[in-house]
Amino acid sequence: MDYFIELLFSGLTRGSIYALIALGYTMVYGIIGLINFAHGEIYMIGAFTAFIVATVLSIYGFPLVAIVIIAGVAAVVWSSSYGYTIEKIAYKPLRYAPRLSPLISAIGMSIFLQNYILLAQTSDFLPFPRLIPDFPFMEPIAHIVGSTDLVILVTTFVVMVVLTFIIKFTLIGKAMRATSQDRAMATLVGINVNRVISATFIIGSGLAAIGGLLIASHIGQINFYIGFLAGIKAFTAAVLGGIGSIPGAVLGSLILGLTESFATGYVSSDYEDVFAFSLLVLILIFKPSGLLGKAKNEKV
Amino acid sequence: MTKQPILDVRGLTMDFGGIRALNSLDLDVTSGEIVALIGPNGAGKTTFFNCITGIYTPTEGNIWLTPPGGKKKISLNGLKPNQVTEKGLARTFQNIRLFSKMTVLENVMIGRHCRTKAFIFGAIFRTKATLQEEQDILQSSYAILEKVGMADFADEFADNLPYGAQRRLEIARALATEPLLLLLDEPAAGMNPQETQSLEHLIKQISMEGQAILLIEHDMKLVMSLSDRIFVMDYGKKIAQGTPLEIRENPAVIKAYLGEEVDA
Amino acid sequence: MGIVKELKKGALISLWFVFLTFPVMVIKVDPIARTVVWRWENALYMAVGTFVVYYIAQFFLKKKENQKEASEEKGLNHSIIHKILQNPLQRNIFVGVLAVAAVLFPQVLSAYQTNVMTTALMYVVLGLGLNIVVGLAGLLDLGFVAFYAVGAYTYALLNHHFGLGFFTVLPIGGLMAATFGILLGFPVLRLRGDYLAIVTLGFGEIIRLVLENWGEFSQGPSGISDISRPGFFGVDFDLQSSIIYTYYLMIILVIVTIFVVNRLQDSRLGRAWIALREDEVACQAMGIDKRKTKLVAFSLGAFWAGIMGVMFAAKTTFVNPASFTFLESAIILSIVVLGGMGSIVGVVLGALILILMPEYLRALSQYRMLAFGAILVCMMIFRPQGLISNIRRTYTFKKKTTNSLSK
């Protein structure tokens, strides 16, 4: 039973992190209909920024709380800046190009960013500093749920609440919803679509950075390639939930996280990634609109 | 009426979720005639085309196509769009859908696709049969372009054509599939009066050669002068059918177009 | 006034990039030794670099806009290579020179150079294979490498277990890959373009992960070694002549591929592919079986990847899953995109540039993947038609009596 609960929590933890990344995919897809292939790299850059800042601060002897806060803020700031810039460079000029052009551009951007980090930093795995201490009150159940897991779950929950608030009640959130329904109409009623798209990339990238920070401190090591796999998995989650749908992304992520956790726990850990990829292929074949998504028919 | 209808549609119904876009529609087209399907915007005309050409699967109803010469009628129910075209229904689109990066001639050649056979083997080894077929495709496509008066544009890219010519090319492309019945979805939409006039001329000419035509059109002048019979739709239902003269005086039609009369 | 404004904009943008790249470019930490290196010079390089790149990009964007207007008036624009190819005399000279160069290459240059060239030629064929799928039929296949892997492992396993030779397995490998193409294509080809891209990517990764983990079948990450090189009626070559022999084999394969792809492109099938790329709905309304046509393109592309997989296994005598990552697919895609989607000449040129350049500019080779990524982005923005855009053939048509086809 303990094993089951352990797997359950590990699945939820994974799922939460996937959710943070998947939201970026889903929001961007909802607004400009693009699979932002470079999103995984944004997350990786978030993790790297956090790693660099945290390590520098800890070498200079800052207290742990300060390190966590500053590294977290830095990760969000830089990731968002990258997200914003990438959209301006690689996607904005292609807004009216054939559908596959921005996707190819995004793939190029993803490869570029991976190698940029590889060249500017290193190809080795880097040990990520432990940012989250073991809480004393967690001790009795520490063998099932770690403190890091708890922090991840709580953080994800808080972030989701904030995001829902932004999308439901703020002006930019309303503009986002309007733009995702009908971009031309949104322009006509005076919404600055370019600003909405930028805001979407900034928010999505910020979420990915939080995900990057959390997973790096969970797994304890990072390298330039972590974005690829995490990106694909988060995309799988977004599609599973129904791409374009925000609750769908969260639901899909949790399902994917749990599936992976139980499958590796009870079946075999060798094929961990195969489960995710197979799930991806199967959903796209059998239910491309996902669990909560709406099927879109082309108008003839 | 002694002639066997080419297209026979019975009780066609199409639901989108809770909305009934087509409500038990009957329609028939006999060989050689021009039939118009008219109705206010949103009456379900294009939906009707999409249903009979296999783009949508109708909720209920039957669609039959009868090839001439006393052959047995074929059910079009459940066929894919390409199979429908193969059986003999070819269409144009309301919002032009040409292959814009292909030449005008190639656009028409694509229409010959379903009447020809060459495949991988033939393509690679250029067998005698393939070469012959390629020649035939070229020749018949060119002949069709001449017929619609576009032979001079043969090597132009389709998206470089003026608007009226693009509509003509759509018709030429559909004709290349050797349809039993040609479906035209608002062929005069967006045309200026001269273009409309030359279109009218073209449709008459095609019809004179024995081509049966079913068209959706908003230009009443065009409809009245071209059609042998007219079907009128409103809210997914057929509200009238008859000759242009009968339709002109039908109170239900006038109501549908001009709105409910205000009773005191 | 205008210049000052432009300079100010350039300066602001380079400042932004200095900020953007600051943590990654300037700071380098060693978490074990607990040291920090501040590489301030990188910030300077970044500032100057961005400033220059910004103006180059502006220049190209302006050029692209002017070009758009010009080409709209002309309709067709022909590159120099196409002009040469269209003139029969020049074309024969061009092909003759190429043929002589190709034959003399291994005689004049070292075995190493020959080997590099063979690799480049393999990418030519891979590019042409993917070009059928992406360039002609417009299906973005991100898992092309999976079919390459199928071909390679088909030869590796059949050779390892049953001792089958290269020429026996060459068609088998191709057919195996094509079969995989059909099996995968059947369910997924009805998906929209971007979903198709992701599914093929997923499929590619599944194949690689299975090869990595199913040890009893594929010998896992350590791979299969001692695969036979291509034989020649039982003659055993030494290494040197085997390299030359492989090179000539590749030349023949390239010629065959160009011949076949060219003919396919100019056929009823090729037209259907291009039409499918342009508008699927209209295509179906014209009576083209969407699924069948896509499936043929997909499996033909896979066939070539399979053939090259066999060649790869025979050339390197060793296969392991690490050779078949997503990046390999991305490289082949870069070749097609750089050269020009749908253009045979373009793809050949693209493969030679992308594969040979990093080999000969050793200093640049570590920037290889960085460049590939940048190429994909830049080509999409500045020149989506590729280096050499495909010109559509026109048919000269003599009235009714004799119809001559010409290119």
Q: What are φ and ψ of residue C306, in 5° steps?
A: -65, -45
Amino acid letter for position C337:
V
- Could you tell me if C26 and C40 are in contact, meaning their C-beta atoms sit under 8 angstroms apart? yes
Report pLDDT for A115: 93
Q: How far is CA B166 from CA B85, B162, C270, C286, in A?
A: 21, 6, 23, 16
Å from C192 to nearest chain A CA? Answer: 9
Structure tokens, C80:
């120099």
Higher pLDDT, A132 or B240: B240
> Any residues with CB less than 8 A from the CB of A11 and at least 6 apart, and which?
A254, A257, A258, A259, A260, A261, A262
Report pLDDT for B3: 65
List, for residues A36-62, the tens digit of each pLDDT value.
Answer: 999 999 999 999 999 999 999 999 989
The DSSP output letter for B177 is T
- For residue B60, list its beta bridge partners: B13
Q: What are φ and ψ of residue B240, in 5° steps?
A: -165, 155
CB-CB neighbors (< 8 A) of C264 in chain B: 120, 123-124
Residue B111 and residue B148: Cα distance in Å, rounded? Answer: 15
Give the residue from B95, B107, B113 with the most C CB atoms within 10 Å of its CB, the best one to mutate: B113
Q: Which residues numbered 7-46 in A keep a CB inside 8 Å of some CB on C?
A: 34-35, 45
Q: How far is CA B130 from CA B122, B134, C270, in A?
A: 6, 6, 14
Please name the residue of chain A whose CA is at the shortest distance from the CA of residue B94.
A300
Q: Which of B187-191, C333-337, C397-401 bottoms out in mean pLDDT, i.e. has the lowest?
A: C397-401
Please report which confidence band the pLDDT of residue A299 belongs to, taking 50, 70 and 90 as the band edges: low
Nearest to C221 by CA among C234, C229, C232, C211: C211
Nearest to A51 by CA among B70, B47, C24: C24
Report pLDDT for C76: 47
Q: Is B40 exposed, middle or buried (0-12, 13-18, 19+ CB in 10 A)?
A: middle
A78 pLDDT exceeds 90? Answer: yes
Give the residue from B110, B135, B137 with the most C CB atoms within 10 Å of its CB, the best one to mutate: B110
CA–CA–CA angle C29, C32, C35 (5° rounding): 40
3-state helix, strand, coil in chain B (%, to 5): 40, 25, 35
Nearest to B154 by CA among B99, B195, B106: B106
Q: Which residues of C356-378 are buried (b: 16+ CB within 10 A; e: fewer)?
A: bebbeeeeeeeebbbbbbbbbbb
* Bridging pattern class, strands B5-16 and B60-65: antiparallel
Which ranges of chain B have pLDDT less than 50? 1-2, 262-264
- Could you tell me if C89 and B174 are in contact, meaning their C-beta atoms sit under 8 angstroms apart? no
- Could you tell me if C48 and C14 are in contact, meaning their C-beta atoms sit under 8 angstroms apart? yes
Residue B5 sits in the same domain as residue B72: yes
Nearest to C24 by CA among A74, A37, A36, A219: A74
- For residue B38, list its beta bridge partners: B232
Q: How confident is the model over C21-35, as a mean pLDDT?
A: 89
Q: Among residues B119, B154, B178, which one ends one of the domains?
A: B178
List, for residues A64-75, the tens digit of each pLDDT value.
Answer: 889 999 999 999
Report pLDDT for A43: 94
CA–CA–CA angle C152, C157, C159 (5° rounding): 95
Q: Is B71 exposed, middle or buried (0-12, 13-18, 19+ CB in 10 A)?
A: exposed
Chains touching C (3+ CB pairs < 8 Å)? A, B
List, for residues C338-358, the tens digit of each pLDDT value.
Answer: 998 888 999 999 999 999 988
Q: Among residues B159, B178, B197, which one ends one of the domains?
A: B178
Residue B238's domain is classified under what CATH number? Answer: 3.40.50.300
List, for residues C62-118, the tens digit of each pLDDT value.
Answer: 887 777 666 544 444 556 777 777 778 888 888 899 899 988 888 888 888 899 999
Please report which confidence band the pLDDT of residue A217 belongs to, taking 50, 70 and 90 as the band edges: confident
How many independent structural domains does chain B possess? 2
Residue B75 sits in the same domain as residue B188: yes
C402 pLDDT exceeds 60? Answer: no
Domains of chain C: 2-74 (no CATH), 77-108 (no CATH), 110-382 (1.10.3470)
Please report which confidence band the pLDDT of residue A131 belongs to, taking 50, 70 and 90 as the band edges: confident
Residue B78 sits in the same domain as residue B194: yes
Residue B76 sits in the same domain as residue B62: yes
Residue B173 sits in the same domain as residue B183: no
DSSP letters, C2-58, are HHHHHHHHHHHHHHHHHHHHIIIIIEEEETTTTEEEE-HHHHHHHHHHHHHHHHHHH
Give the residue from A297, A299, A300 with the most B CB atoms within 10 Å of its CB, the best one to mutate: A300
Report pLDDT for C401: 39
Residue A292 and residue A271: Cα distance in Å, rounded? Answer: 28
Residue B11 sits in the same domain as residue B78: yes
Phi-psi region of C120 (alpha: psi -120 to 50; beta: other; left: phi over 0): alpha
Please report which confidence band the pLDDT of residue C290 belongs to, taking 50, 70 and 90 as the band edges: very high
> Any residues with CB less than 8 A from the CB of B153 and at least 6 apart, and which?
B104, B145, B161, B165
Report pLDDT for C405: 42
CB-CB neighbors (< 8 A) of A300 in chain B: 46, 50, 55, 93
Interface residue C341 vs chain B (CB under 8 A) = no
Q: Which helix (H) or strand (E) holds B168?
A: helix B163-175
CB-CB neighbors (< 8 A) of A274 in chain C: 206, 209-210, 213
Reported ipTM: the value is 0.90
What is the extent of the structural domain holding B108? 97-178
Residue B110 sits in the same domain as residue B53: no
Mean pLDDT, all residues of chain C: 87
The DSSP output letter for A89 is I
Report pLDDT for A272: 78
Q: Using CA atoms in the order C66, C67, C72, C73, what is the torsion angle rounded to 10 degrees?
A: 80
Å from C65 to nearest chain A CA? Answer: 12
Residue whose entry in the numeric block shows the structure tokens 């009908």? A182
Residue B69 sits in the same domain as residue B200: yes
Residue B68 sits in the same domain as residue B141: no
Task: Please indicate whether, in this complex, the C-beta atoms of C370 and A116 are within 8 angstroms of each other.
Answer: yes
Task: Please indicate whether, in this complex, the C-beta atoms of C392 and B133 are within 8 angstroms of each other.
Answer: no
Interface residue A103 vs chain C (CB under 8 A) = yes
Please name the residue of chain C whose CA is at the shortest distance from the CA of residue A53.
C23
How many Cβ atoms are within 10 Å of B161's Cβ, its own excluded?
20
Interface residue B47 vs chain A (CB under 8 A) = no
C223 three-class SS: coil
CB-CB neighbors (< 8 A) of B141 in chain C: none
Q: Which of C266, C271, C300 sits opposite B110 (nearest CB)?
A: C271
Task: Please indicate whether, in this complex, the C-beta atoms of A111 and C138 are within 8 angstroms of each other.
Answer: no
- Determine what percent of chain A is predicted with pLDDT higher than 70: 98
CB-CB neighbors (< 8 A) of C271 in chain B: 102, 106, 109-110, 113
Task: Please indicate whether, in this complex, the C-beta atoms of A105 and C381 are within 8 angstroms of each other.
Answer: yes
Report pLDDT for C392: 62
Please name the residue of chain C whose CA is at the shortest distance from the CA of residue B170.
C282
The distance from CA A102 to its chain's CA centroid, rounded to whole angstroms, is 20
Å from C100 to nearest chain B CA? Answer: 26
Q: How far is CA A197 from CA A20, A164, A204, in A?
A: 18, 18, 10
Residue B140 sits in the same domain as residue B240: no
Å from C133 to nearest chain B CA? Answer: 15
Residue B70 sits in the same domain as residue B115: no
Q: How far is CA B264 from CA B256, B261, C284, in A?
A: 19, 9, 53
How many Cβ atoms are within 10 Å of B180's Cβ, its own excluded?
20
Q: Among residues B126, B146, B178, which one ends one of the domains?
A: B178
Q: Which of A34, A121, A284 sits opposite C28 (nearest CB)?
A: A121
Task: Please indicate whether, in this complex, the C-beta atoms of B82 and C290 are within 8 angstroms of each other.
Answer: yes
Nearest to B173 by CA among B148, B210, B205, B153: B148
Amino acid letter for position C327:
L
Residue B188 sits in the same domain as residue B79: yes
* Stated length of chain A: 300
Å from C370 to nearest chain B CA? Answer: 32
Q: Which of C25, C31, C199 sits opposite A284 (nearest CB)?
A: C199
* Bridging pattern class, strands B19-30 and B5-16: antiparallel
DSSP letters, C325-386, are -HHHHHHHHHHHHHH-TT-HHHHHHHHHHHHHHHHH-GGGGGGHHHHHHHHHHHHHHH-TT-
Interface residue B235 vs chain A (CB under 8 A) = no
- Could you tell me if B167 and B96 are in contact, meaning their C-beta atoms sit under 8 angstroms apart? yes
Report pLDDT for C393: 66
Q: Which residues numbered 275-294 in A keep a CB inside 8 Å of some CB on C?
A: 277-278, 280-281, 284-285, 288
